[in-house]
């Protein structure tokens, strides 16, 4: 019995269970210098860059680090479809998994060096899986379900459906790149000596010369009225968010700063909600300290602010301006680079600017992994993936003329005589054959110009158990350019020489490899392969 008992998890800690950190007022009562950042009394944040004592003897000047020394975080997976799939022969599929939900799958045959590979992408509501697999590592060429399992073993579906919508790639790349952004907004909070409360920080109206110098170091002062760049939520028409701000570009990314002293000041409002409305809704903020007063992250009450970069100036207004830097973020925000040196002291210059902006952008990406934003991101991704699934499904159905009147989008279908792409053809069915599957094979990319299509219809004879008993090759050639698709059905032959009896003893509704090997020499040269199975 004792072995069967499970241990209960320890009770959650309350504030009484922690040994509190000293308050900012206790620290200010001691002899300085003080740290740039103090942890809240009951924790919840981590700190980077706590040593600001200059090295003795001082190091000789080092050459500035190249910009490549600081790595900007980005979602590289989001760029793969545009880079490796768009404009190249590839295949897209979709299905629904009972556990994983909506799935959209892309595959492409790649030759890297002199080796053949499969490039695979599987989109789920949680993440996008990507892998490049050498074909030589596979014992046999996989089907679509097996390919999907190669990148995500949890896939458990009976089939994938091919995407037949010509504009599907646009929808897919839009979904993939929804996580990418070239626009960022960061708050800037001015903290004077002795200020330890939110009301004091947001109540500052004047800018000291050292603060002005720092703002000029960050970017350009711009007039908000009729500003054409990224405005970061600021009003550029009616002046309701002030008359000017600080803006810059960094590696093709636009950055707008919400500067506390430049946002409107409201007389009689101790909380300065006009200012807090913008800075409190940022995710990352800079705290500028002109003198040595610690910043505590819980000074500012905000559900969105998750990371702070605290900068304290020394020797302002001279040719030897230096900045001390500390970084703090909530406990569920993972560490983000570039790592601060030891000691975290920088000379004013391009190298410090490069590090600072890289740190700010990487901080925002890291904050998205915190619990609050991760849940929001997952809900957004799930909704967008469901929309993508429905779009490719409805439009693929419409292309085949299988959807209802409401589903026949972009095909001119409106009532009785419309229909989808395939309804434009007249297909001859032989009454003594049982149709098992239709294989749409070799759909020419440039069909509007060539008007050439190859269709294969697989029939199941009553006399043979194989699902691929007989293959009839129907070739559609350009004959009437005025028709909806520029082609009319022309049945070349139904005689035995055009038939092929499959010897495979299979009950599957898919085409066997021997059939494909028979047909491949007869197909139009350099035509991409697409197939559709219908039960």
Q: Dump strand ranges (E) for 444-469.
A: 453-460
State the Cα–Cα distance between residues 300 and 259, nearest whole angstrom: 15
Note the helical H segments in 98-218: 144-151, 168-176, 198-202, 209-218
pLDDT per residue rounded down to tens, the chain (535 residues): 444 444 444 554 454 555 567 777 777 767 768 889 988 877 889 999 988 888 765 555 555 555 457 888 888 899 999 999 999 999 999 999 999 999 999 999 999 888 999 999 999 999 999 999 999 889 899 999 999 999 999 999 999 999 999 999 999 999 999 999 899 999 999 999 989 889 999 999 899 999 999 999 999 999 999 999 999 999 999 989 999 999 999 999 999 999 999 999 888 888 888 899 899 999 999 999 988 889 999 899 999 999 999 999 998 889 999 999 999 999 999 999 999 998 999 999 999 999 999 999 999 999 999 998 999 999 999 999 999 999 999 999 998 888 654 544 444 444 444 445 444 443 433 333 333 333 333 333 333 333 333 333 333 333 333 333 333 333 333 333 333 333 323 232 223 333 333 433 333 333 333 343 333 333 333 333 333 333 2
State the Cα–Cα distance between residues 450 and 487, nearest whole angstrom: 9
State the Cα–Cα distance between residues 528 and 442, nearest whole angstrom: 6
Torsion, Cα 384 386 392 398, to 10 degrees, reads -130
Provide the pLDDT for residue 403. Answer: 66
Provide the pLDDT for residue 192. Answer: 92
Domain positions in the chain are 76-166, 183-368
Residue 242 sits at the vertex; the CA angle it makes with 238 and 246, to the nearest 5 degrees, is 120
One-character DSSP codes across 60-86: PPPPPPPGGGSPPP--GGGGHIIIIIT
State the Cα–Cα distance between residues 226 and 63, nearest whole angstrom: 41
State the Cα–Cα distance between residues 207 and 286, nearest whole angstrom: 15
pTM: 0.70
Summarize pLDDT for 185-244 with one digit per residue, the tens. 999 999 999 898 899 999 998 999 999 999 999 999 999 999 999 999 999 999 899 999
State the Cα–Cα distance between residues 248 and 250, nearest whole angstrom: 7
What's the Cα-to-Cα distance from 272 to each of 134, 159, 198, 279, 286, rounded to whole Å?
60, 58, 9, 11, 18
Maximal CA-CA distance, the chain: 102
Place of tokens 């072995």: 3
State the Cα–Cα distance between residues 435 and 534, nearest whole angstrom: 9
DSSP secondary structure code for residue 125 in this structure? S
What's the Cα-to-Cα distance from 20 to each of 17, 23, 53, 329, 478, rounded to whole Å?
9, 8, 26, 18, 82
Strand-pair partners of 438: 457
**Which helix H or strand E contains 106, and what residues bound it?**
strand 101-112
Summarize pLDDT for 135-179 with one digit per residue, the tens. 988 989 999 999 999 999 999 999 999 999 999 999 999 999 999
Provide the pLDDT for residue 456. Answer: 38
Q: Which CATH superfamily is domain 183-368 in?
A: Rap/Ran-GAP (3.40.50.11210)
Per CATH, the number for 76-166 is 3.30.1120.160
State the Cα–Cα distance between residues 338 and 362, nearest whole angstrom: 8
What's the Cα-to-Cα distance from 74 to each of 141, 182, 429, rounded to whole Å?
34, 10, 54
Helix axis angle, 168-176 to 371-400, nearest 10° = 180
- Sort 111 into a burial class: Cβ within 10 Å, 0-12 / 13-18 / 19+: exposed
Which of 439, 436, 408, 437 has the alpha carbon at shortest distance from 424? 408
What's the Cα-to-Cα distance from 101 to each of 8, 93, 386, 446, rounded to whole Å?
33, 14, 9, 34
Q: Dump strand ranges (E) for 135-260.
A: 161-162, 183-191, 220-223, 244-250, 253-259
Domains 76-166 and 183-368 share a fold: no
State the Cα–Cα distance between residues 330 and 44, nearest whole angstrom: 6
Provide the pLDDT for residue 52. Answer: 85
How many Å separate Cα 136 from the centre of its chain? 31
């Amino acid at each position: 019995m004792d072995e069967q008992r499970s241990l209960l998890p320890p009770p959650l800690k309350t504030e009484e269970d922690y040994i509190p950190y000293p308050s900012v007022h206790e620290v200010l009562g001691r002899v300085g210098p003080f740290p740039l950042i103090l942890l809240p009394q009951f924790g919840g944040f981590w700190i980077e860059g706590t040593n600001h004592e200059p090295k003795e003897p001082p190091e000789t000047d080092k050459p500035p680090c190249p910009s490549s020394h600081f790595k900007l975080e980005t979602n590289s997976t989001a760029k793969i479809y545009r880079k490796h799939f768009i404009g190249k022969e590839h295949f897209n599929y979709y299905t629904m998994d009972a556990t994983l939900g909506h799935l959209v799958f892309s595959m492409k045959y790649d030759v890297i060096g002199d080796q053949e590979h499969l490039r695979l992408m599987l989109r789920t509501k949680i993440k996008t899986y990507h892998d490049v697999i050498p074909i030589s590592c596979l014992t046999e060429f996989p089907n679509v379900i097996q390919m999907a399992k190669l990148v995500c073993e949890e896939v458990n579906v009976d089939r994938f459906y091919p995407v037949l919508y010509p504009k599907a790639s646009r929808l897919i790349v839009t979904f993939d790149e929804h996580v990418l952004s070239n626009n960022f907004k960061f708050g800037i909070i001015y903290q004077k000596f002795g200020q330890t409360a939110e009301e004091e920080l947001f109540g500052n109206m004047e800018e000291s010369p050292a603060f002005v110098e720092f703002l000029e170091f960050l970017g350009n002062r711009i007039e908000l009225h009729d500003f054409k760049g990224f405005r970061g939520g600021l009003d550029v028409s009616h002046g309701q968010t002030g008359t000017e701000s600080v803006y810059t570009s960094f590696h093709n990314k636009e950055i707008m700063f919400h500067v506390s002293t430049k946002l409107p000041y409201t007389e009689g409002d101790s909380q300065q909600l006009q200012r807090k409305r913008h800075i409190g809704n940022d995710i990352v903020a800079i705290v500028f300290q002109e003198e040595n007063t610690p910043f505590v992250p819980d000074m500012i009450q905000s559900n969105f602010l998750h990371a702070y970069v605290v900068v304290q100036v020394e020797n302002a207004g001279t040719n030897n301006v230096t900045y001390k830097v500390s970084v703090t973020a909530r406990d569920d925000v993972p560490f983000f680079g570039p790592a601060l040196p030891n000691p975290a002291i920088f000379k004013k210059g391009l190298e410090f600017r490069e590090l600072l902006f890289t740190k700010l952008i990487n901080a925002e990406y890291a904050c998205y992994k915190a619990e609050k934003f991760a849940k929001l991101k997952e809900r957004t991704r799930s909704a967008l993936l469901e929309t993508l699934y429905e779009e490719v499904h409805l439009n693929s159905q419409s292309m085949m003329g299988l959807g209802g009147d409401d589903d026949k989008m972009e095909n001119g279908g409106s009532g009785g005589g419309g229909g989808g792409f395939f309804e434009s053809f007249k297909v001859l069915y032989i009454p003594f054959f049982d149709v098992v599957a239709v294989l749409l094979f070799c759909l020419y990319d440039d069909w509007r110009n060539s008007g050439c299509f190859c269709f294969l219809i697989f029939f199941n004879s009553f006399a043979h158990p194989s699902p691929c008993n007989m293959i009839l090759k129907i070739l559609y050639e350009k004959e009437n350019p005025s028709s909806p698709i520029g082609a009319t059905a022309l049945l070349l032959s139904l005689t035995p020489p055009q038939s092929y009896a499959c010897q495979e003893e299979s009950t599957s509704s898919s085409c066997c490899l021997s059939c494909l090997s028979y047909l491949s020499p007869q197909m139009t040269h350099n035509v991409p392969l697409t197939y559709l199975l219908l039960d």
